[in-house]
Amino acid sequence: MSGSKLRSRWAALAGAVAAVLLISGCGASAPQEQKPADPVAKVSFEPGADAGEVNPAAPITATVDRGRFDSIALANTDGKQVAGELSKDGKSWHATEALGYGKSYSWTGQAIGDDGKQVPVQGTFSTLQPKKTIRATINPTDNAEVGIAMPISVKFDEAVQDKAGIQRALTVQASVPVEGAWAWLSDRQVDWRPKEYWPAHTHVSVHAKLYGQSYGQGSYGLADLSTEFDIGRAQIVKAAVGTHRLVVMRNGEQVANYAASYGEEYDPGRNTPNGTFIVMQKNPVEIMDNPRYGYRDVRKTWAARFSNHGEFIHENQENAAALGKVNNSHGCINLSAADAKAYFDSALIGDPVEVTGSASTMPPQFDVYDWLLNWDQWTKKSAV
């Protein structure tokens, strides 16, 4: 082989090697470190982290997206844990009790993402502090048996400003369909009554979600209320003043017809007024006073109050000669001792007493006047 050909081969080989080295040199820099991927689990809260003025009765929840809770707790600054429930799939938690007013709460725990990485559960929030909390009561009480005219009454220790908001927090459920409505009888009392008398033997449940409910002007409800009660048999007193008789109807049939004496007809201050009332109290002994008519500390038995104006159905054996003949009482319905006891024993709180034929009519006042208003008048007192 000639020298010139050999030199050509070496030159070509050297060029190829140089090209390889050049190509290799272009990719010879150090590999970049990869940043670890963020955990995929995302925890969120309601209310959000650092929220303030939270209503303690509002729903409190925690949820995790693309993961599940391994542990979770919510506690106040005193260390008291809030009762709650974790969903079966571990993806959500909700409080099962209301929080306290004016408290701070902290979340703790951890979630595990679908990628196996842990995410801390952490965050804080605080609840509102009312200027004032208002107490309420409800009637009838639990397990009571009451008459077919019994209203449901919620009374408040102070005047309610946000009547519509409070009314929306009240619910009535009955074992049979019953049309009824709430009406504000004062700034401190709201009653529910049916349009017609309750059906006999109805079971009634009432719920008042008042805790956390704004009453207006910075005041909030102190506690929720509830009651369950039963309507008894359908008993109605028919008190036709001019007949000098008191008739008792039960389940549509007359069961008693008592000789009676009603209020003096010619003195408006002594009339037994017209209207539909309810039996409000039953007292085996009642001490009666009426300074205007000159008597004090008069003891009468078997007294069933049907008006806060002062009317009772009661025994007045001293007036036996007038029973069934003359109306001469001071407004009460007088019966003989035997008849008064028989009626007393048959009566339930909430039984209607229908007075007709009197020279006067009771004005809608004196606390319990639910049935002195017609249905149109009643529904106009609703705040909703």
pLDDT band with cut points at 50, 70 and 90 for residue 295? confident
At 265, which helix (H) or strand (E)?
none
Structure tokens at 384: 């909703």
Residue 7 counted as domain residue: no
Give the tens place of pLDDT for each residue, 189-211.
999 999 999 999 999 999 999 99
Q: In this structure, are 140 and 187 located in the same domain?
A: yes
Residues 6+ positions from 61 with CB-CB distance below 8 Å:
45, 46, 92, 93, 94, 95
Q: In this structure, are 218 and 245 located in the same domain?
A: no
What whole-number distance in Å separates Cα of residue 109 and Cα of residue 292?
73
Query: Which of 29-38, 207-216, 281-290 is predicted with the least confidence, judged by mean pLDDT?
Result: 29-38
332 is catalytic: yes
Q: What is the pLDDT of residue 39?
A: 87
Q: Are 109 and 69 in contact (CB under 8 A)?
A: yes
Q: In this structure, are 245 and 334 located in the same domain?
A: yes
Q: Are 331 and 310 in contact (CB under 8 A)?
A: yes
The four Cα atoms 172, 181, 179, 273 give a dihedral, to 10 degrees, of: 120
Residue 117 counted as domain residue: yes
Structure tokens at 375: 């249905």
Q: In the chain, pLDDT over 70 holds for what percent of residues?
A: 90
Structure tokens at 68: 């599940």
Residue 10 counted as domain residue: no
Q: What is the pLDDT of residue 251?
A: 98
Structure tokens at 345: 């024993």
Residue 376 counted as domain residue: no
Q: In this structure, are 327 and 305 located in the same domain?
A: yes
Which among 203, 207, 244, 314 is annotated as catalytic? 314
> Which one of 179, 210, 232 terminates a domain?
232
Residue 3 counted as domain residue: no
Residue 265 counted as domain residue: yes
Give the tens place of pLDDT for each residue, 125-182.
999 999 999 999 999 999 999 999 999 999 999 999 999 999 999 999 999 999 999 9
Q: In this structure, are 227 and 282 located in the same domain?
A: no
Which among 207, 244, 309, 332 is annotated as catalytic? 332
Q: In this structure, are 208 and 138 located in the same domain?
A: yes
> Which one of 184, 208, 232 terminates a domain?
232
Q: In this structure, are 311 and 192 located in the same domain?
A: no
Q: In this structure, are 366 and 248 located in the same domain?
A: yes
Q: What is the pLDDT of residue 21?
A: 38
Domain span at residue 301?
235-371
Structure tokens at 362: 């009771």
Q: How many CA atoms lie within 13 A of 293 on its CB side?
A: 15
pLDDT of 31 above 70: no
Q: In this structure, are 114 and 157 located in the same domain?
A: no
Torsions phi, psi for 262 (to 5 deg): -100, -175
Q: In this structure, are 240 and 288 located in the same domain?
A: yes
Q: In this structure, are 223 and 269 located in the same domain?
A: no
Tokens 């060029």 map to which residue? 15
For residue 259, CA distances in Å to 282, 320, 346, 380 come to 20, 9, 17, 39
pLDDT of 26 above 50: no
At 3, which helix (H) or strand (E)?
helix 3-26
Number of domains in the chain: 3
What whole-number distance in Å separates Cα of residue 188 and Cα of residue 186?
5
CATH no. for residue 59?
Answer: 2.60.40.3780
Residue 24 counted as domain residue: no
The 275-278 sheet, strands edge to edge? 253-259, 245-250, 235-240, 352-356, 275-278
